[in-house]
């Protein structure tokens, strides 16, 4: 994986020293909160409901065991012994004390990590497919491109004060696991004529108050042109994006208000000019980065132990069936470690669990770890022979939940249990859903289903693109949950639709039970997923299930 | 007729800890909602808020929050957000519910 150059290291250390000084000045009263706030946000430090929160960037979700051990150490020394992995492939610590934060940042710098640009109106942590470098459907590993963008965007002088925050996601596969269509810019590797690899560029996707699916602004961009093209988009946005209204400041609104064609013309003009300033730099850099992401050497290992355990141990078999994905090397598997135990907090891992994961990666999985935007942990390169041992160890650490892609594999933002912006809680809703459907033993029968929960309209929990989305609101001083149906985060992206009024916390779980009962009754067969069924029938039968009273009245 | 004033307490976050604190009747700070001073007059509440806003070396982001008198005669939150701030997160026994004691303010 990419290791910091001396330049990166010196830059990060200098930022820590600078922030230490700023914290000292805030504490001794030389800086007011008004002066300090933008500075702390630039270093990923928020003030939340009960405490400060430090958001640490995990570029394109890639970690090694050393870094994971250090996150565990930080959680133990300066927090309450756990961390929260987020939908932006970051980790958040929920309980740091102000005076300790510079030490936390120093500890991060020791393992080439930081919290820079995890907040503020700049280009945020670049995210990528969590199966990068391992998936069998991959055109190319998206991480060299993501790393190129990380280097280019970090401290980019022109783009530190954009109209609003800016999020880029990169996918290297036709199957989109990086939600590229819901980002300000989505980049997808594609093959052009003559099998040359390039990028499809999407622009103007985003969730939040005005959810929009990104539009293709370039169907094929040669790889050499990536940075000048990015600069062109950012420049046009920086100059023309709205600064008068925070809710209209994202690039999606610019795309919407200006029109794709007009914007495209502006970007192309800018691109022609910028391109002259980038004579091949891009390509040379990308080549050197490719070497950092060279795949590990996979050896042909004996996998009879794996086959044997599969036949003998039903728990192991179930876990394999849900938590493994095909690796491009048939001797290996991609393992997803679920951070969604029944009634647990989605995305949370204790320091001990982080250490278990780090040790497993180091001993059995080529020292690679990924964080997925779905708030799980991935071991991307696992020789099948080691799977039984890995499963045993995960079981002992409470990490062997076999539920990937099922109803309890819920995305949930921190909501009003932590977040100062929240309008309602999301975690307890996720906990109740996973508990209830576990009691009902319906999870496997229901099959593939993505529930995504946000605690406010900002949509960090991606509720718009959940097959079932849940949005927590404050209705006259009571928590109220609005449902959306039919959302999709993949290459067939769609924004979910609201079937009707929201539900109180008590009404919500029974409503979901009715909804899923209806699905089980009307689906064509056990193979028709909830989303397929919704697409085939539209929302009417689901509406009737959710609102039986109004259906009866209408009849 | 003017709308009836909902009683208020003054709350903010401690600068160093980040923890939620409340202004008491004697002008010090407490971590317990029930020990906060309940303001029954709008003008008095606003004047007190203006006064403590100058003490940014102690706290961050002070504001007035609705409160009511509970059965024990002490203030309690009206809105669920203030209830959660006064208690801590619901997924773990962390924060206030686990550690209540008065804040020492210099
Ligand atoms: S969606 Fe809202 S409540 Fe949830 S983390 Fe984002 S800002 Fe906070």
Tell me the Cα Rg of chain A.
23
Give the A window 465-494 contacts with B, CB below 8 Å: 474, 477-479
Q: What percent of chain A has pLDDT over 90?
A: 85
Is it the case that residue A496 has pLDDT exceeding 50? yes
Q: Name the closest residue on chain A to residue B54, using Cα atoms.
A: A32
Cβ–Cβ gap A51/B19 under 8 Å: yes
pLDDT of the residue at B29: 95
Give the count of alpha carbons within 13 A of A56, CB side only. Answer: 33
Which residues of A are less than 8 Å from B18 in CB distance?
47-48, 50-52, 95-98
Is it the case that residue A194 has pLDDT exceeding 90? no
Question: Is B17 a domain residue?
Answer: yes
Question: Is B102 a domain residue?
Answer: no
The torsion region of residue A543 among left (phi > 0), alpha (psi -120 to 50) and beta comes to: alpha
pLDDT of the residue at A355: 98
A208 lines ligand 1 (CB under 6 A): no
Which residues of B are less than 8 Å from A47 in CB distance?
13, 18, 60-61
Which residues of A are less than 8 Å from B88 in CB distance?
50
Contact A459, B60 (CB under 8 A): no
Give the closest residue to A113 by CA, choosing from A91, A143, A85.
A91
Mean pLDDT of chain B: 90
Give the B window 39-68 contacts with A, CB below 8 Å: 56-57, 60-61
Q: Residue B1's pLDDT band (boundaries 50, 70, 90)?
A: low
Question: Is B49 a domain residue?
Answer: yes
Identity of the residue in A32, A96, A431 whose CB atom sits nearest the CB atom of B91: A431
Question: Is B2 a domain residue?
Answer: no
* pLDDT tens per residue, range A381-396: 999 999 999 999 999 9
pLDDT of the residue at A554: 65
* pLDDT tens per residue, range A333-352: 999 999 999 999 999 999 99
- Our CA-based measurement puts residue B4 at a distance from the nearest CA of chain A, in whole angstroms, of 18
Structure tokens that stand for A480 in this block: 């109220």
Give me the residues paired with residue A484 across strands.
A469
Which residues of A are less than 8 Å from B84 in CB distance?
49, 416-417, 425
* pLDDT tens per residue, range A19-49: 999 999 999 999 999 999 999 998 999 999 9
pLDDT of the residue at A282: 65
* For range A430-459, the mean pLDDT: 97
Q: Residue B104's pLDDT band (boundaries 50, 70, 90)?
A: very low
ipTM tops the 0.90 cut: yes
Tell me the Cα Rg of chain B.
14
Cβ–Cβ gap A33/B84 under 8 Å: no
Is it the case that residue A544 has pLDDT exceeding 60? yes
Mean pLDDT of chain A: 94
* pLDDT tens per residue, range A64-86: 999 999 999 999 999 999 999 99
A427 lines ligand 1 (CB under 6 A): no
Position with higher pLDDT, A378 vs A550: A378
Position with higher pLDDT, A291 vs A452: A452
pLDDT of the residue at A259: 95
Identity of the residue in B16, B80, B85 whose CB atom sits nearest the CB atom of A479: B80
pLDDT of the residue at A537: 97
Question: Is B105 a domain residue?
Answer: no
Flag whether residue A40 sits within 8 Å of chain B, measured between CB atoms.
no
pLDDT of the residue at A311: 95
pLDDT of the residue at A117: 78
Question: Is B62 a domain residue?
Answer: yes
Q: Residue A287's pLDDT band (boundaries 50, 70, 90)?
A: confident
Flag whether residue B85 sits within 8 Å of chain A, measured between CB atoms.
yes
pLDDT of the residue at A257: 93
Q: How far apart, in whole angstroms, are the C-alpha atoms of residue A426 and residue A246?
A: 24
Identify the burial level of B24 via C-beta atoms within 10 angstroms of its C-beta, where 0-12 means exposed, 13-18 middle and 19 or more buried.
middle
- A22, A28, A41, A51: which to substitute to probe chain B, counting the most B Cβ within 10 Å? A51
Cβ–Cβ gap A27/B85 under 8 Å: no
Count interface pairs A-B at CB distance under 8 A: 72
Q: Name the closest residue on chain B to residue A54, using Cα atoms.
A: B18
Q: Report the Cα–Cα distance between both ends of chain A, in Å, rounded.
A: 62
* For range A404-424, the mean pLDDT: 98
pLDDT of the residue at B102: 44
Contact A452, A410 (CB under 8 A): yes
Q: How far apart, in whole angstroms, are the C-alpha atoms of residue A515 and residue A538?
A: 13
Is it the case that residue A284 has pLDDT exceeding 80? no
pLDDT of the residue at B103: 41
- Our CA-based measurement puts residue B102 at a distance from the nearest CA of chain A, in whole angstroms, of 16
Q: Residue A63's pLDDT band (boundaries 50, 70, 90)?
A: very high
Strongest mean pLDDT among A243-252, A272-281, A284-293:
A243-252
CA of A420 relative to ligand 1 center, distance in Å: 8
* For range A461-489, the mean pLDDT: 97
* For range A443-456, the mean pLDDT: 97
Cβ–Cβ gap A47/B57 under 8 Å: no
A92 lines ligand 1 (CB under 6 A): no
Cβ–Cβ gap A33/B60 under 8 Å: yes
Q: How far apart, in whole angstroms, are the C-alpha atoms of residue A35 and residue A164?
A: 19
CA of A388 relative to ligand 1 center, distance in Å: 38
Output the CA torsion A492→A496→A497→A503 (10° steps).
160
Q: How far apart, in whole angstroms, are the C-alpha atoms of residue B85 and residue A10?
A: 40
Cβ–Cβ gap B20/A50 under 8 Å: yes
Output the CA torsion A192→A196→A197→A203 (10° steps).
-30
Cβ–Cβ gap B18/A26 under 8 Å: no
Flag whether residue B18 sits within 8 Å of chain A, measured between CB atoms.
yes
pLDDT of the residue at A555: 59
Question: Is B103 a domain residue?
Answer: no
- Domains of chain A, with CATH numbers? 6-109 (3.90.480.20), 142-292 (3.30.413.10), 309-396 (3.90.480.20), 411-554 (3.30.413.10)
pLDDT of the residue at A290: 87
By residue range, what is the domain housing residue B22?
8-92
Q: Residue A193's pLDDT band (boundaries 50, 70, 90)?
A: confident
Q: Name the closest residue on chain B to residue A418, using Cα atoms.
A: B89
Q: How far apart, in whole angstroms, are the C-alpha atoms of residue A296 and residue A367?
A: 9
Q: Residue B2's pLDDT band (boundaries 50, 70, 90)?
A: low
Flag whether residue A80 sits within 8 Å of chain B, measured between CB atoms.
yes
Flag whether residue A48 sits within 8 Å of chain B, measured between CB atoms.
yes
Identify the burial level of A473 via C-beta atoms within 10 angstroms of its C-beta, where 0-12 means exposed, 13-18 middle and 19 or more buried.
middle
Structure tokens that stand for A491 in this block: 């290459």
Question: How many folded domains does chain B comprise?
Answer: 1
Q: How far apart, in whole angstroms, are the C-alpha atoms of residue A133 and residue A296?
A: 10
Ligand 1 atom with minimal separation from the A419 CA: 8
Flag whether residue A78 sits within 8 Å of chain B, measured between CB atoms.
no
pLDDT of the residue at A281: 61
Which residues of A are less than 8 Å from B20 in CB distance?
49-50
Question: Is B99 a domain residue?
Answer: no
Ligand 1 pocket test: pick from A454, A459, A469, A482 the residue with the most ligand atoms within 8 Å of its Cβ: A454
* pLDDT tens per residue, range B80-101: 999 999 999 999 999 999 986 4
Ligand 1 atom with minimal separation from the A415 CA: 3
A406 lines ligand 1 (CB under 6 A): no
């Amino acid at each position: 994986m990419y290791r910091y150059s001396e330049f990166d290291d010196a830059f990060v250390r200098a930022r820590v020293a600078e922030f230490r000084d700023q914290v000292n000045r805030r504490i001794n009263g030389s800086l007011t909160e008004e002066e300090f706030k933008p500075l702390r946000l630039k270093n990923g430090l928020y003030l939340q409901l009960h405490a400060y929160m430090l958001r640490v960037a995990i570029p394109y979700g890639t970690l090694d065991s050393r870094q994971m051990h250090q996150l565990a150490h930080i959680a133990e020394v300066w927090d309450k012994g756990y961390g929260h992995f987020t939908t932006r492939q970051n980790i958040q610590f929920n309980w740091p004390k102000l005076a300790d934060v510079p030490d936390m940042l120093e500890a991060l710098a020791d393992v080439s990590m930081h919290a820079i640009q995890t907040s503020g109106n700049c280009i945020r942590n670049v995210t990528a497919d969590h199966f990068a470098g391992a998936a069998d459907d991959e055109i190319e590993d998206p991480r060299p491109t993501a790393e190129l963008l990380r280097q280019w965007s970090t401290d980019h002088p022109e783009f530190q004060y954009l109209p609003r925050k800016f999020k880029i996601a990169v996918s290297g596969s036709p199957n989109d696991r990086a939600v590229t269509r819901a980002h300000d810019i989505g980049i997808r590797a594609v093959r052009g004529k003559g099998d040359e690899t390039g990028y499809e560029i999407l622009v103007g996707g985003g969730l939040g108050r005005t959810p929009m699916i990104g539009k293709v602004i370039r169907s094929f961009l040669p790889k050499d042109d990536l940075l000048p093209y990015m600069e062109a988009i950012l420049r046009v946005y920086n100059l023309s994006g709205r600064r008068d209204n925070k809710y209209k400041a994202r690039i999606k609104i610019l795309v919407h208000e200006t029109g794709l064609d007009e914007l495209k013309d502006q970007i192309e003009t800018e691109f022609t000019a910028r391109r002259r300033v980038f004579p091949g730099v891009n390509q040379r850099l990308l080549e050197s980065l490719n070497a950092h992401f060279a795949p590990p050497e996979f050896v042909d290992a004996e996998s009879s132990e794996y086959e044997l355990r599969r036949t003998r141990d039903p728990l192991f078999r179930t876990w394999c069936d849900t938590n493994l994905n095909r690796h491009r090397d048939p001797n290996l598997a991609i393992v997803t470690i679920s951070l969604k135990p029944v009634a647990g907090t989605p995305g949370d891992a204790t320091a001990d669990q982080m250490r278990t994961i780090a040790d497993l990666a180091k001993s059995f999985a080529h020292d690679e770890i990924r964080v997925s935007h779905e708030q799980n942990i991935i071991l991307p390169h696992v020789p099948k022979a080691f799977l039984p041992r890995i499963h045993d160890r995960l079981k002992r650490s409470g990490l062997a939940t076999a539920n990937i892609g099922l109803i309890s594999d819920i995305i949930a933002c921190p909501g009003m249990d932590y977040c100062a912006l929240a309008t309602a809680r999301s975690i307890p809703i996720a906990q109740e859903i996973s508990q209830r459907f576990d009691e009902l033993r319906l999870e496997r029968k229901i099959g593939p289903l993505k529930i995504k929960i946000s605690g406010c309209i900002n949509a960090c929990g991606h509720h718009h693109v959940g097959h079932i989305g849940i949005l927590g609101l404050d209705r006259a001083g009571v928590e109220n949950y609005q449902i959306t149906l039919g959302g999709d985060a993949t290459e067939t992206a769609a924004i979910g639709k609201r079937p009707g009024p929201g539900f109180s916390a008590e009404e919500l779980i029974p409503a979901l039970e009715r909804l899923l009962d209806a699905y089980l009754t009307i689906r064509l067969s056990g193979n028709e997923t909830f989303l397929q069924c919704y697409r085939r029938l539209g929302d009417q039968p689901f509406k009737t299930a959710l609102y039986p009273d109004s259906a009866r009245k209408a009849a | 007729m003017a709308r009836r004033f909902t009683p208020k307490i003054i709350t903010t976050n401690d600068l160093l800890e980040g923890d939620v604190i409340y202004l008491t009747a004697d002008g010090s700070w407490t971590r317990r909602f029930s020990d906060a001073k309940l303001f029954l007059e709008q003008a008095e509440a606003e004047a007190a808020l203006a006064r403590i806003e100058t003490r940014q070396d102690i706290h961050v982001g002070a504001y007035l929050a609705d409160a009511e008198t509970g059965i024990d005669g002490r203030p309690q939150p009206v809105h669920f957000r203030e209830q959660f701030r006064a208690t801590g997160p619901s997924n773990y026994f962390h924060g206030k519910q686990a550690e209540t004691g008065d804040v020492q303010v210099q």
